[in-house]
Amino acid sequence: MFESISDQIKNYKKIVFVTGAGISQESGIHTFRGNEGLWRNYDLMKLATIDAFYENPKLVWEWYNDRRSNIFQAQPNQGHNAISELEKYAQVVVLTQNIDGLHKKAGSSNVLELHGSIVKIKCSVCDYNEDILTEISDFPPLCKCGNILRPDVVWFGEPLPQDVWQNAIDFASECDLMVIVGTSFVVSPANTLPLYAKQNNATLIEINPETTEMSGEMDEIIRNTSVEILPKLVSLFKK
Protein backbone atom coordinates (compact mmCIF):
# COMPACT_ATOMS: atom_id res chain seq x y z
CA MET A 1 0.00 0.00 0.00
CA PHE A 2 1.28 3.44 -1.05
CA GLU A 3 4.39 1.76 -2.46
CA SER A 4 4.70 4.42 -5.15
CA ILE A 5 4.98 7.29 -2.66
CA SER A 6 6.37 5.92 0.60
CA ASP A 7 9.94 7.04 -0.14
CA GLN A 8 8.98 10.54 -1.20
CA ILE A 9 6.00 11.26 1.01
CA LYS A 10 7.56 14.34 2.62
CA ASN A 11 8.25 15.85 -0.80
CA TYR A 12 4.58 16.29 -1.57
CA LYS A 13 3.71 19.90 -0.77
CA LYS A 14 0.60 20.35 -2.92
CA ILE A 15 -2.02 17.61 -2.63
CA VAL A 16 -5.35 17.57 -4.45
CA PHE A 17 -8.18 15.20 -3.55
CA VAL A 18 -10.87 14.53 -6.13
CA THR A 19 -13.85 13.00 -4.34
CA GLY A 20 -17.17 11.49 -5.35
CA ALA A 21 -20.20 9.78 -3.88
CA GLY A 22 -18.21 6.82 -2.53
CA ILE A 23 -16.66 8.80 0.30
CA SER A 24 -20.03 10.12 1.48
CA GLN A 25 -21.79 6.78 1.15
CA GLU A 26 -19.83 5.70 4.21
CA SER A 27 -21.56 8.49 6.13
CA GLY A 28 -24.95 7.02 5.24
CA ILE A 29 -25.71 9.30 2.30
CA HIS A 30 -27.50 7.51 -0.51
CA THR A 31 -25.63 7.42 -3.79
CA PHE A 32 -27.18 9.50 -6.51
CA ARG A 33 -27.83 6.55 -8.78
CA GLY A 34 -29.45 4.40 -6.11
CA ASN A 35 -33.24 4.16 -6.14
CA GLU A 36 -34.21 4.34 -2.49
CA GLY A 37 -37.61 4.19 -0.86
CA LEU A 38 -40.50 6.02 -2.42
CA TRP A 39 -38.32 7.23 -5.33
CA ARG A 40 -37.63 3.74 -6.66
CA ASN A 41 -40.26 4.16 -9.39
CA TYR A 42 -38.63 7.32 -10.78
CA ASP A 43 -35.64 7.72 -13.05
CA LEU A 44 -33.63 9.96 -10.76
CA MET A 45 -31.22 10.78 -13.58
CA LYS A 46 -34.12 12.48 -15.34
CA LEU A 47 -35.25 14.34 -12.24
CA ALA A 48 -31.92 16.17 -12.05
CA THR A 49 -32.46 18.31 -15.14
CA ILE A 50 -33.72 21.81 -15.73
CA ASP A 51 -36.46 20.41 -18.00
CA ALA A 52 -37.77 18.17 -15.20
CA PHE A 53 -37.71 21.14 -12.83
CA TYR A 54 -39.80 23.36 -15.06
CA GLU A 55 -42.15 20.47 -15.94
CA ASN A 56 -42.81 19.51 -12.32
CA PRO A 57 -40.94 21.71 -9.80
CA LYS A 58 -42.97 20.34 -6.89
CA LEU A 59 -41.83 16.75 -7.60
CA VAL A 60 -38.18 17.77 -8.01
CA TRP A 61 -38.27 19.77 -4.79
CA GLU A 62 -39.85 16.88 -2.87
CA TRP A 63 -37.01 14.65 -4.03
CA TYR A 64 -34.36 17.21 -3.09
CA ASN A 65 -35.99 17.78 0.28
CA ASP A 66 -35.64 14.04 0.94
CA ARG A 67 -31.98 14.28 -0.02
CA ARG A 68 -31.51 17.36 2.18
CA SER A 69 -33.01 15.54 5.15
CA ASN A 70 -30.66 12.59 4.63
CA ILE A 71 -27.63 14.86 4.21
CA PHE A 72 -28.38 17.11 7.20
CA GLN A 73 -28.39 14.04 9.46
CA ALA A 74 -25.05 12.76 8.14
CA GLN A 75 -21.70 13.38 9.80
CA PRO A 76 -18.21 13.34 8.28
CA ASN A 77 -16.53 9.95 8.46
CA GLN A 78 -12.89 8.97 8.98
CA GLY A 79 -12.17 9.60 5.31
CA HIS A 80 -13.37 13.20 5.44
CA ASN A 81 -11.58 13.74 8.74
CA ALA A 82 -8.30 12.33 7.43
CA ILE A 83 -8.34 14.73 4.48
CA SER A 84 -8.90 17.62 6.86
CA GLU A 85 -6.09 16.46 9.17
CA LEU A 86 -3.66 16.28 6.27
CA GLU A 87 -3.69 20.09 6.11
CA LYS A 88 -1.25 20.01 9.04
CA TYR A 89 1.42 18.56 6.75
CA ALA A 90 0.80 19.96 3.25
CA GLN A 91 -1.28 22.32 1.16
CA VAL A 92 -4.50 20.40 0.56
CA VAL A 93 -7.28 21.23 -1.88
CA VAL A 94 -10.47 19.21 -2.21
CA LEU A 95 -12.23 19.13 -5.58
CA THR A 96 -15.50 17.39 -4.83
CA GLN A 97 -18.38 16.28 -7.02
CA ASN A 98 -20.49 15.89 -3.88
CA ILE A 99 -23.12 18.44 -2.90
CA ASP A 100 -23.39 17.39 0.77
CA GLY A 101 -20.93 19.79 2.41
CA LEU A 102 -19.29 17.07 4.52
CA HIS A 103 -15.74 18.11 3.61
CA LYS A 104 -16.39 21.58 4.99
CA LYS A 105 -18.13 20.11 8.03
CA ALA A 106 -15.03 17.98 8.66
CA GLY A 107 -12.88 21.11 8.71
CA SER A 108 -11.26 21.15 5.28
CA SER A 109 -10.50 24.80 4.56
CA ASN A 110 -10.07 24.74 0.77
CA VAL A 111 -13.00 22.94 -0.84
CA LEU A 112 -14.27 23.52 -4.36
CA GLU A 113 -17.78 22.14 -4.79
CA LEU A 114 -17.82 21.44 -8.52
CA HIS A 115 -21.50 20.56 -8.66
CA GLY A 116 -22.77 23.10 -6.16
CA SER A 117 -24.28 22.52 -2.72
CA ILE A 118 -27.61 21.17 -1.59
CA VAL A 119 -27.40 23.56 1.36
CA LYS A 120 -27.75 26.51 -1.01
CA ILE A 121 -30.83 27.62 -2.90
CA LYS A 122 -31.14 30.25 -5.59
CA CYS A 123 -33.79 31.93 -7.67
CA SER A 124 -34.43 30.53 -11.13
CA VAL A 125 -34.61 34.09 -12.49
CA CYS A 126 -33.07 36.80 -10.26
CA ASP A 127 -29.72 36.87 -8.42
CA TYR A 128 -31.07 35.81 -5.02
CA ASN A 129 -29.22 32.96 -3.27
CA GLU A 130 -28.97 31.81 0.33
CA ASP A 131 -27.85 28.95 2.57
CA ILE A 132 -30.91 27.12 3.96
CA LEU A 133 -30.15 24.60 6.70
CA THR A 134 -33.74 23.82 7.64
CA GLU A 135 -36.50 21.76 6.11
CA ILE A 136 -38.52 23.36 3.32
CA SER A 137 -42.26 22.95 3.77
CA ASP A 138 -43.75 24.70 0.74
CA PHE A 139 -43.21 23.01 -2.64
CA PRO A 140 -42.02 24.63 -4.74
CA PRO A 141 -40.64 27.49 -2.64
CA LEU A 142 -40.95 30.96 -4.14
CA CYS A 143 -38.50 33.84 -4.24
CA LYS A 144 -39.42 37.33 -3.07
CA CYS A 145 -39.54 38.26 -6.76
CA GLY A 146 -42.31 35.69 -7.24
CA ASN A 147 -40.35 33.16 -9.28
CA ILE A 148 -39.48 29.60 -8.27
CA LEU A 149 -36.46 28.90 -6.09
CA ARG A 150 -34.26 25.93 -7.02
CA PRO A 151 -31.42 23.98 -5.38
CA ASP A 152 -28.08 25.63 -6.14
CA VAL A 153 -26.66 22.50 -7.74
CA VAL A 154 -25.46 21.67 -11.24
CA TRP A 155 -27.99 19.56 -13.09
CA PHE A 156 -27.34 17.35 -16.10
CA GLY A 157 -26.91 19.49 -19.17
CA GLU A 158 -25.83 22.55 -17.19
CA PRO A 159 -22.26 23.89 -17.19
CA LEU A 160 -20.14 23.99 -14.07
CA PRO A 161 -19.64 27.47 -12.59
CA GLN A 162 -16.74 28.74 -14.70
CA ASP A 163 -14.81 30.36 -11.87
CA VAL A 164 -14.96 27.17 -9.80
CA TRP A 165 -13.98 25.00 -12.75
CA GLN A 166 -11.05 27.22 -13.74
CA ASN A 167 -9.74 27.16 -10.17
CA ALA A 168 -10.08 23.36 -10.15
CA ILE A 169 -8.02 23.12 -13.33
CA ASP A 170 -5.36 25.40 -11.84
CA PHE A 171 -5.05 23.35 -8.65
CA ALA A 172 -4.97 20.07 -10.59
CA SER A 173 -2.30 21.43 -12.91
CA GLU A 174 -0.04 22.49 -10.03
CA CYS A 175 -0.31 19.57 -7.60
CA ASP A 176 2.42 17.07 -6.70
CA LEU A 177 -0.02 14.36 -5.65
CA MET A 178 -3.61 13.73 -6.69
CA VAL A 179 -5.72 11.25 -4.72
CA ILE A 180 -8.96 10.19 -6.39
CA VAL A 181 -11.48 8.87 -3.89
CA GLY A 182 -14.87 7.26 -4.38
CA THR A 183 -15.70 8.50 -7.86
CA SER A 184 -16.48 6.40 -10.92
CA PHE A 185 -15.38 9.28 -13.19
CA VAL A 186 -18.27 8.83 -15.62
CA VAL A 187 -19.30 12.49 -15.36
CA SER A 188 -17.62 15.14 -17.47
CA PRO A 189 -15.74 17.46 -17.11
CA ALA A 190 -14.61 16.36 -13.62
CA ASN A 191 -13.19 13.18 -15.17
CA THR A 192 -10.53 15.24 -16.95
CA LEU A 193 -8.91 16.50 -13.74
CA PRO A 194 -6.35 13.64 -13.50
CA LEU A 195 -5.13 14.51 -17.00
CA TYR A 196 -4.21 18.02 -15.86
CA ALA A 197 -2.32 16.58 -12.90
CA LYS A 198 -0.55 14.07 -15.11
CA GLN A 199 0.73 16.90 -17.33
CA ASN A 200 2.48 18.25 -14.22
CA ASN A 201 4.01 14.80 -13.57
CA ALA A 202 1.99 14.48 -10.39
CA THR A 203 1.57 11.08 -8.76
CA LEU A 204 -1.98 9.73 -9.19
CA ILE A 205 -3.53 7.39 -6.62
CA GLU A 206 -6.99 5.89 -6.88
CA ILE A 207 -8.85 4.69 -3.78
CA ASN A 208 -11.98 2.85 -4.83
CA PRO A 209 -13.33 -0.68 -4.31
CA GLU A 210 -14.30 -0.78 -8.00
CA THR A 211 -12.45 -0.29 -11.29
CA THR A 212 -13.18 3.11 -12.85
CA GLU A 213 -12.89 4.84 -16.19
CA MET A 214 -9.53 6.35 -15.14
CA SER A 215 -7.93 3.33 -13.44
CA GLY A 216 -5.55 2.85 -16.34
CA GLU A 217 -4.04 6.31 -15.77
CA MET A 218 -3.18 5.72 -12.11
CA ASP A 219 0.29 5.25 -10.61
CA GLU A 220 -1.20 3.27 -7.75
CA ILE A 221 -4.60 1.71 -7.21
CA ILE A 222 -5.98 0.72 -3.80
CA ARG A 223 -9.14 -1.36 -3.93
CA ASN A 224 -10.58 -0.39 -0.58
CA THR A 225 -12.71 2.31 1.02
CA SER A 226 -11.65 5.78 2.06
CA VAL A 227 -12.55 5.09 5.69
CA GLU A 228 -10.02 2.28 5.76
CA ILE A 229 -7.27 3.87 3.68
CA LEU A 230 -7.13 7.64 4.13
CA PRO A 231 -6.16 7.54 7.84
CA LYS A 232 -3.23 5.33 6.81
CA LEU A 233 -2.16 7.93 4.25
CA VAL A 234 -2.13 10.59 6.97
CA SER A 235 -0.04 8.32 9.20
CA LEU A 236 2.72 8.31 6.55
CA PHE A 237 3.05 12.09 6.89
CA LYS A 238 3.31 11.79 10.69
CA LYS A 239 6.39 9.57 10.59
> SS3 for 119?
strand
115 is catalytic: yes
The annotation status of 98 as a binding-site residue, yes or no, is yes
The annotation status of 99 as a binding-site residue, yes or no, is yes
The annotation status of 194 as a binding-site residue, yes or no, is no
The annotation status of 68 as a binding-site residue, yes or no, is no
The annotation status of 223 as a binding-site residue, yes or no, is no
Catalytic residue among 30, 80, 103, 115: 115
The answer to whether 182 touches 214, Cβ cutoff 8 Å, is no
Distance of CA 50 to the CA centre of its chain: 20
The annotation status of 117 as a binding-site residue, yes or no, is no
- Separation between Cα atoms, residue 95 and residue 19, nearest integer Å: 6
Sequence-distant (≥ 6) Cβ neighbours of residue 166 within 8 angstroms: none
Q: What does DSSP assign to residue 229?
A: H
100 CB-side CA count, 13 A:
30
The annotation status of 126 as a binding-site residue, yes or no, is yes
81 residue type, one letter: N
The annotation status of 184 as a binding-site residue, yes or no, is yes
Residues tagged in the binding site annotation: 64, 67, 97-100, 123, 126, 143, 145, 182-184, 208-210, 226
Residues tagged in the binding site annotation for substrate: 64, 67
Residues tagged in the binding site annotation for NAD(+): 97-100, 182-184, 208-210, 226
Residues annotated catalytic, as ranges: 115
Residues tagged in the binding site annotation for Zn(2+): 123, 126, 143, 145
